[in-house]
Amino acid sequence: MSHTRWKLARERKAAEGYTEPPDVVAEREQIRLAHDLGQSVHDRRTALRLSRSVLGDRLGMTADEVEAVDLGGMLPVTADLLVRPAVALEVTVDVHVMSDGRNTVASGGHAA
């Protein structure tokens, strides 16, 4: 099945005046944030040449749980889920909460 059709169907519904319920919008945003966090954790972990197992030891998690974070599958994105990897990977985390709901999570640089 083509994922393009799903996007077009959503856009078509929006053009017809359909708006998604707030809980669906919030869930979609959580998924996007989890993906962004996972990508940041994965990038930093691989840059440091850490295995999931070693990072798991630093976080008090299993390698499978670290894999879930890496793949963006750890929901919901909580403050604890932002802080613990940042400390373990020695990076800063910037969270931008926007009034339009387009929140962002970014990590970078070494923590001071």
What are the pLDDT digits (tens) for 38-71? 998 999 999 999 999 999 999 999 999 999 999 9
pLDDT at 111: 52
> What's at 78, amino acid-wise?
T
Domains of the chain: 22-110 (1.10.260.40)
Per-residue CA distances from 11 to 4, 16, 22, 32, 40 (Å)? 11, 9, 17, 18, 29
In angstroms, rounded to a whole number, what is the distance separating the alpha carbons of residues 23 and 36?
Answer: 20
Tell me, what's the pLDDT at 112?
46
Distance CA 45, CA 54 (A): 10
H/E segment holding residue 5? helix 3-15
- Which residues is 105 bridged to in the sheet? 95
